[in-house]
Chains A and B, each alone.
Chain A
Amino acid sequence: MVMTPYVIAFLKFYFIFTVIVMILFAIRHFIFTFNRMYCEQKLYYQDIIDSDLPFITVLIPMHNEEKVAHGVLDALLESNYPVEKFEVIPINDFSEDGTKEILEDYAVRYGNIHPLHRNSGERGKPAALNRAMEMAQGEIIVVFDADYLPGKGLLENLSTAFLDPEVGAVMGRVVPVNTKANFLTRLLDLERSGGYQVDQQARYNLNLIPQYGGTVGGYRKDLMMGTDGFNTKILAEDTELTYRLFCSGWKVLYANSAECYEEAPEAWHIRARQIARWSRGHNEVMFRYVWKLVKSKYLSFWQKLDGMFLLFIYMMPVILFFGLIDSILLFFLDEMDILEGWWVLLFLGAYNTFGNFAPFYQVGTANVIDGSRERILLLPYLAFNFYFYLWFITKGFFNALVDVLTRREAKWQKTERFRKEKPGGFT
């Protein structure tokens, strides 16, 4: 078939480019896994005992959260943090179910719960957090999503980080609570382990870029208020905060000991929406922060490099998706002799994207450290997630691209909850 040499050359170039990107990510994850398994770990500040704890404000954005609102509030009320040292602001963001009534009931019964009801203005988590920060009394803001179940010592554990004046934000570890619900939640548990036990901890160990994840984490209020709060046009306010802090010289800590339970999505279509939304938000941040990261005078070369990898993490499936199309074209154009073929691409692609952008041995190692014998046996099933992420993350990327090019406003989509509430508790 007649095809210009330039087109063929471009297709081959793209193929080689994809392979190189995959190799770079493979090296990065090998270093992380090796560091986490075999090197001394950098401890968090959990052993520091200070009687002068800061006053903290806990923000919980909620949109139609009647199934889970009791859970998070009850868990916080059980906290061992001195009651006079913290307040809780559950943010009822345009809820249409019974969330408002639940919050009012708690407000009547407990003096440190001050609900914020929002029925006008911009919608979404960043806007809700901005509004709540205006009424927050605490100098430290701790954020939980509504489906989270913080343990007794978690607030103290997280707030200790801020005794270090260089710390701008802290992030804890997320552990799914509903792992036995179905196959999907078990797989997500497996992935989360790889993401936190190895990835985040290794980045913390190596003094790279641990990420603030928007929940089970905290930050200094004045840093946000001084810069007009969260950008309400961005879906991934957590990633944006991470880069904003690092680029202006602040530290973000990862507290592996600060574990908190969450409710993982129990249906594939909800997971698909969630991952597409994360991709959209993360890629928006990528478009905005690539240059700022390169120019930052506060970051070392390795931090910039890792920051770049992290910024581009949701681009990887997109690059692979085009790599797949590229390979199909090369196949039909009789050009599959390049590097003897598709196997290099697929091998390295699958190698990197098993689990949540982690190679299979990273997820496996994390679970060995966690001591989860049975969970590891599910590892081969993550292979098919490679295609799942390829599809939905690419979708999210194109949405982000359109958002940036057309200045379209992204709408926040709530993740559906599954918890079956029982009177006085939850299952």
Chain B
Amino acid sequence: MKKEILKKQIQYSRTYRYIEMDKINVFLGVFLSIIPLCLLVLFYYPQITLFISQFTMKVLSPIFHENVLAIESSDFLKWFGPVYYLSLPGRFPSIVFIWLNLLITLISLFLLSSVVKTRPLTIFLSISLWVHVCSAIFFTFIPEYFPYDATEYSSLYIKQQVGIYFFVPIIIGIAVCMLPINFVKSWITIAFCAVYSFIFGIVRYITFMFILSKVSLMYMASLFFSFGPFIDFLYLVCIYSFLASSTADKLKRNKGVWRW
């Protein structure tokens, strides 16, 4: 006799269900948090970048000799003012350092490709390592053509960071507006992401500046390509996934919101 499979609970049909949009809630929750945050970044980025530069200088100053660190500015968006960034010396790699890096990178690539070549994380690491190989080759043969010093990179980083600060509320806002949650929750989520990205951006800036100045300029490309906006995306999605998960849980117990 066949074993009967009995369900403890029959869930509501998921096939064609949808939610009637609460337009006011979405408007309040999303647009009233995205727009102010974006405007805040746009109108206050000179002050924000000045604060970041001053803070970074304060943190790094015990490690550097006096008068080496300074704050500079450069033009950014015409109508909104300049960006401020830290000026600091970079450390050019010695040939031994370059070759040692190249050797270690190539061995790592070989190990990655021979052991676990098809894993997503392996491919991510491999691409990062290849960028480092390019950097090592560049510094071996044409170091005089390397186009950036630590200060130029510092400027590039700050400009990139302003872009990230601007886009984080927009991207998380788009994601959050697809979830049937009240506007307070939307505000908290979007504001939390903005604050997180602000703090993370500063911590990363300090770390990058330290590496480029005290370890080697050779790591610039790897830092730029592997630990830049991709990492910002990662925490953004982490925060979103927690919110979406709790929303899914609540909706399971709330039949009233669904329409079929």
- Name A residues whose Cβ lies closer than 8 Å to a Cβ of B: 1, 30, 33-34, 36-41, 43, 197, 201, 256-257, 259, 268-269, 271-272, 324, 327-328, 331-334, 336-337, 340-344, 346-347, 350-351, 354, 360-361, 364-365, 367-374, 376-380, 382-388, 390-391
Contact = CB atoms under 8 A, between A and B. Distances in A.
A343 B19 contact: no
A361 B120 contact: no
Interface residues of B, number: 61
Contacts of B247: 368
B245 interface: yes
A378 B124 CA distance: 18
For the complex of A and B, the 3 pairs showing the least CB-CB separation, nearest first, are: A334-B147, A384-B120, A361-B175
A376 B245 contact: yes
A197 B248 CA distance: 15
Contacts of B156: 336-337, 340-341
Given A30-B174, A332-B134, A365-B178, A385 B120 contact: yes
B224 A331 contact: yes
Contacts, number: 172
Interface stretch (B10-18, B31-39, B102-110, B190-198): B10-18
Interface stretch (B54-62, B202-210, B233-241): B233-241
Contacts of A272: 118
A376 B119 CA distance: 21
B244 A376 contact: yes
A284 B222 CA distance: 35
A384 B21 CA distance: 32
Given A257-B15, A332-B134, A383-B233, A343 B240 contact: no
B142 interface: yes
Contacts of A387: 120, 123-124, 127
Contacts of B244: 364-365, 367-368, 376, 379
B148 A334 contact: yes
Given A30-B174, A197-B14, A364-B241, 15 more contacts: A37-B19, A38-B19, A38-B21, A40-B259, A324-B127, A342-B228, A369-B14, A371-B14, A371-B251, A372-B248, A376-B245, A379-B244, A384-B123, A388-B119, A390-B123
Nearest to B22: A38
A376 B241 contact: yes
A40 to B, nearest CB: 7
Contacts of B230: 346, 350, 383
A371 B252 contact: yes
B233 A379 contact: no
A233 B166 CA distance: 49
A37 B164 CA distance: 28
Contact of A377 (B121, B167, B241): B241
Contacts of A37: 18-19, 21, 178, 180
Contacts of B69: none
Contacts of B259: 40
Contacts of B251: 368, 371
Contacts of A269: 117-118
Nearest to A324: B127
Contacts of B221: 328, 331-332
Contacts of A378: 241
A384 B121 contact: yes
Contacts of A333: 147
Interface in B157-183: 159-160, 162-164, 167, 171, 174-175, 178-180
A39 B20 CA distance: 7
Contacts of A343: 160, 163-164, 228-229
A327 B225 contact: yes
A367 B233 contact: no
Given A331-B221, A340-B159, A364-B178, A376 B248 contact: yes
B160 A38 contact: no
A273 B138 CA distance: 34
B79 interface: no
A374 to B, nearest CB: 7
Interface in B1-57: 11, 14-21
Contacts of A30: 174
Given A342-B229, A361-B174, A373-B252, A43 B163 contact: no
A347 B229 CA distance: 6
A377 B259 CA distance: 25
Contacts of A385: 120
Contacts of A336: 156, 224
